[in-house]
Structure 1
Amino acid sequence: MTTPPTTPLGACIPVPTTEQVMAALGTVDDPEIGRPITELDMVDGVAIDGGAVTVDVLLTVPGCPMKDTITREVTAALTRVEGVTAVDVRLGSMTEQQRAKVAEKVRGGAGKAPGGQVVIPFAQTDSRTKVIAIASGKGGVGKSSVTTNLAVALAQQGQSVGVLDADVWGYSIPRMLGVEGRPVAFNNMVMPLQAHGVKVISIGFFVDAEKPVIWRGPMLHRALQQFLADVHWGDLDFLLCDLPPGTGDIAISLAQMLPNADMLVVTTPQQAAQRVALRAGQMTAQTGMRVTGVIENMATFVAPDTGTEYRIFGEGGGQLLAAELDTELWASIPIDPRLREGSDSGTPLVASDPDAPASQRFAEVAQRLAKSRTSLVGRSLPLKF
């Protein structure tokens, strides 16, 4: 039971109405689904006794890990209602039938088409989500750190962002974003975890971190399909897909499922990385995707003691790659040791120091993506193998 501050002696205390209480509860979102608890039929009952309000809230799953958050936010919302002097939140659990209704409401018909065919919402012509596949030719160029910092930069600019960690063998997004735990699932629907305003799904949430993932084509294809179709991403502005290096099964499967996605290719300035990245970019000619831009990572290093700029990995690779792929060099990201430190600590540089030169480059790319975001209607480009 939570008791708000008392009203001065002698003041007239209005009695809250059911309508006021329900309106306040309508401002509380389920932290995992992102929809108002009233809309999801989670409010099972309201009792008002003078200024004391008791609310029965049904959790979508027993032992919901966000139950303390729900209790806290319901209490906070009701204490702001004039006349409420005490709040008691009583938690229960939905029945199977109630959960099924919530799942149907949340899915809005997505997930399965008549006949059991899997439906990927991002592949539908009415999807408002811009899907960006972030690729590289080889490992070690900082592709995942680019993905995480770009995702957080987009979120900081008010965009709704999700990150799909499609690097099944070398998943690193959970660590880089500081996300731990297991996603909640009910009625064949999975809720992504969140950090820094970004929704995240990764195979790393479902497997033993100490054991390698030894999967081949069909299993990889099915896992990616489930991440796209069975995860409740909600209304995203952007979905960033962190691909494994190269042009293997995952990249091919993603192109089959989302042929209208765009690709950002990450490289370093050195020629060896640029030539390998060229092959990753050229695969779009066969898949229907298009390379929207190139990001050159580890472009320069500025010595902190002298201010001298060094090009440790050479120069020109990003610009040459962009020219060969008939696109543009969107950004050259300078070397900053804090990029690596942030990846290890779970706090991306754009979150810890948004004014750093590298952070500013990511912010510029995010702004460019936001401006270029257009409808995907009419861009149906089938695979050509």
Structure 2
Amino acid sequence: MAPSLEAPDDEVRDVLANPLKKKPDLVAPEPEHCPGPESEQAGTADSCAGCPNQQICASAPKGPDPDLPLITARLADVKHKILVLSGKGGVGKSTLTVQLAHAFATNPDTTVGVMDTDICGPSIPKMLGVETETIHTSNAGWEPVWAMDNLAVMSIQFLLPNRDDAIIWRGPKKNGLIKQFLKDVQWGELDFLLVDTPPGTSDEHLSVNTFLKESKIEGAVVVTTPQEVALLDVRKEIDFCRKAGIRVLGIVENMSLFVCPGCKHESKIFLDHTGGGRGLAEELGIPFLGSVPLDPRIGIACDYGESFFDSFPDSSACKALKGVVKGLVEQIGLDPEVLLPEGDGSS
């Protein structure tokens, strides 16, 4: 029988609770019954007796991050914090994040922030038309870049000397920057903070969950495309949310079909052999927020840093996106007729 790769429950809980602890430098391999050098029992468990690493593990830093209270205080005026996740790359997660931000920002009384935690592939500034901006600092911290009067964004893109520079960082450095985005940025009073994450369930996701746990995450929106290859990874993302205690606000099926801008004919590009996003939502008992068709004009709007809602308000994709926003607002417990101008939350 092949060995199981599933981590024990206590190990999973330890990683989720303490993802940022640096593994100590050991002088010998971990013994068979080692509780783990990052465990709270490291160096003190019965199995640690006689181990050459006992003193090293016992003296390693443990406990909560001392910066967590500072992050909680900084985000005290942010009402709703929403993660945008996807198990797989290329499903349009960052694009959907931008559309959600623009949709909320259509109400002049609503202030929105977007935090781009996709450290190695920051695309949010380009989509919001602020790619060439830089960050200003003051005694109070970093100032986010304002794409609109009520739409702010923070991304590593603003820190790069050249727009084409690659970010070749290991996990701890990524975690440190995410902490700065939360602890040092003057987000101020926000109605919504949308956190765009990279695909998968890795360092960035663990960091965001840990840093925001005390200040309360509203939940996560999970983005997929209809085909089973994407749904396989989305299942893992949802499992991560459940283990991390993050509420899944709903699933959005992106690129559900192609609508020709000229003749309005609909064609399925990705076939949903297993029911697509809607079928997965019903199977797992998760709200289905809606399907968004593949419209090339969304890509054009993002390339030019424009709002798709302003440029193509009568398109079927725009109406579908408004339906997604309405479903998301209802899951949060808000009234879409109040939040969205002129009742535009209806599909």
Code of the aligned partner of 1:230:
D
Q: TM-score, normalised by structure 2?
A: 0.70
Q: CA deviation at 1:123?
A: 8.5
Q: 2:156 aligns with which of 194, 203, 207?
A: 203
Q: CA deviation at 1:369?
A: 3.3
Q: 1:116 to 1:360 in 2, by over 3 A?
A: closer
Equivalent in the alignment of 2:339: none
Equivalent in the alignment of 1:213: 167
Q: 1:132 aligns with which of 60, 82, 92?
A: 82
SS of the residue 2:91 aligns to: coil
Distance in 2 separating the partners of 1:299 and 1:209: 32
Q: 1:238 to 1:340 in 2, by over 3 A?
A: same
Q: Which runs of 5+ in 2 are unaligned?
A: 1-65, 335-347
Deviations 1:140-193 (A, max 9, x none): 111111000110101103421100001000110000000131121012501111
Q: Which runs of 5+ in 1 are unaligned?
A: 1-114, 376-385
Would the aligned equivalents of 1:164 and 1:241 in 2 still touch at CA under 8 Å? Answer: yes
2:228 aligned with 1:278, yes or no?
Answer: no
Most deviating of 235-244 and 274-283: 274-283
Q: 1:221 to 1:145 in 2, by over 3 A?
A: same
SS of the residue 1:129 aligns to: strand
Relative contact order higher in (CA < 8 Å, ≥ 6 apart): 2
Would the aligned equivalents of 1:281 and 1:325 in 2 still touch at CA under 8 Å? Answer: no
2:120 aligned with 1:166, yes or no?
Answer: no
Would the aligned equivalents of 2:86 and 2:93 in 1 still touch at CA under 8 Å? Answer: yes
Distance in 2 separating the partners of 1:159 and 1:210: 33
Equivalent in the alignment of 1:182: 134
What is the percentage of aligned positions where both structures have the same residue? 39
Code of the aligned partner of 1:272:
V
Equivalent in the alignment of 2:258: 301
Q: 2:310 aligns with which of 327, 344, 351?
A: 351
Q: 1:340 to 1:228 in 2, by over 3 A?
A: same
Q: How does 1:213-362 map to 2 (within 5 A)?
A: 213-259=167-213, 260-261=216-217, 262-304=219-261, 306-315=263-272, 316-362=275-321
Q: How does 1:81-160 map to 2 (within 5 A)?
A: 119-121=70-72, 128-157=78-107, 158-160=109-111
Equivalent in the alignment of 1:17: none
Q: CA deviation at 1:278?
A: 1.4
Q: How does 1:50-65 map to 2 (within 5 A)?
A: none
Q: Alignment RMSD, CA only? A: 2.1
Q: CA deviation at 1:307?
A: 3.5
Q: 1:148 to 1:122 in 2, by over 3 A?
A: farther
- Aligned pairs, number: 260
Equivalent in the alignment of 1:109: none
SS of the residue 2:256 aligns to: coil
Q: 1:184 to 1:150 in 2, by over 3 A?
A: same
SS of the residue 1:333 aligns to: strand
Distance in 2 separating the partners of 1:116 and 1:266: 31
Most deviating of 343-352 and 320-329: 320-329
Distance in 2 separating the partners of 1:241 and 1:311: 30
Code of the aligned partner of 1:367:
K
Q: TM-score, normalised by structure 1?
A: 0.63
Deviations 1:208-254 (A, max 9, x none): 32211111111111111110111111111110000001111001111
Distance in 1 separating the partners of 2:247 and 2:224: 17
Larger Rg over CA atoms: 1
* Runs of 4 or more consecutive aligned structure 1 residues displaced over 4 Å after TM superposition: 115-118
Code of the aligned partner of 2:316:
P
Distance in 2 separating the partners of 1:122 and 1:298: 39
